[in-house]
Amino acid sequence: MELIRDTIKANADYAKTDKVGFIKSVQETLAAQQTSEVKKQKKRLAVCRKRFAELETIFKKMYEDYALGKLPDKRYEAMSADYGKEQDALEKEIAELQSSVERYEDGSGRAVPEDEEELCKVLERREKFRQNYLKRKVSGKQKEYEQHYNEKRKARLAANKAALFEDGAVLGANALAPVAES
């Protein structure tokens, strides 16, 4: 637990001291992960296409054997159904993989983080909120806020619950009403 805590703290300190560097390292890591994932998808796509082509060849040979009377009707139908299912599944997977690879290559599928300046503003704003929270916590104002919030939350939940029961009573009455035939 200490190791995890220290790692998180080190990352948080790095993000505070060198925001632009932190953003760039996150972007590089994301790009590397995406590249690795796309390579896996391309390999799988090649395997699927190869198997799809093999199934086409099998279908042709199987049909020839069936047409020449070398393959009984039942056997042909069973094999045709099995290979057909496999081919349909491969067709779907090929389409999904192809789409994913094309999105990456077009650049539209990449996880492009926000503009660095915008991201820095967001990080600064979060840090400001965090600092204010810590100040409220030390001064005791945070407890007051939480109590006030919890009271509002409980009131809102009670109101929602009451509304639900009112709607339930209406639904229950409608559920018992006879259904008119058309």
How many other β-carbons are positioned within 10 Å of the β-carbon of residue 169?
10
Tell me which DSSP letter residue 110 carries: S
Question: Is the CA virtual torsion 53, 54, 60, 63 positive or negative?
Answer: negative
Task: Give the whole-angstrom CA distance, residue 8 versus residue 123.
Answer: 16
Task: Give the whole-angstrom CA distance, residue 127 versus residue 115.
Answer: 18
89 found inside a domain: yes
160 found inside a domain: no
**Token pair for residue 84?**
């057909």
Domain count, the chain: 1
Task: Give the pLDDT mean for 30-35.
Answer: 81
What residues make up the domain containing 30? 2-114
Whole-number percent of the chain with pLDDT over 90 = 32
165 found inside a domain: no
168 found inside a domain: no
Task: Give the pLDDT mean for 66-76.
Answer: 91
pLDDT computed for residue 110 by the predictor? 46
157 found inside a domain: no
Task: Give the whole-angstrom CA distance, residue 42 versus residue 101.
Answer: 7
- Measured in whole angstroms, how far is the alpha carbon of residue 9 from the centre of its chain? 28
38 found inside a domain: yes
Type of residue found at 124? E
54 found inside a domain: yes
Question: Is the CA virtual torsion 97, 100, 101, 102 positive or negative?
Answer: positive
**CA neighbor of 95 nearest in space, from 40, 35, 52, 33:** 52
Task: Give the whole-angstrom CA distance, residue 26 versus residue 123.
Answer: 14
Q: What angle do CA 26, 30, 32 make, to 5 degrees?
A: 115
> What is the tens place of the pLDDT at every residue in 125-181?
888 877 887 788 788 888 888 888 889 989 998 998 888 887 655 455 444 444 444
59 found inside a domain: yes
What is the chain's mean pLDDT, rounded?
A: 81
pLDDT computed for residue 107 by the predictor? 63
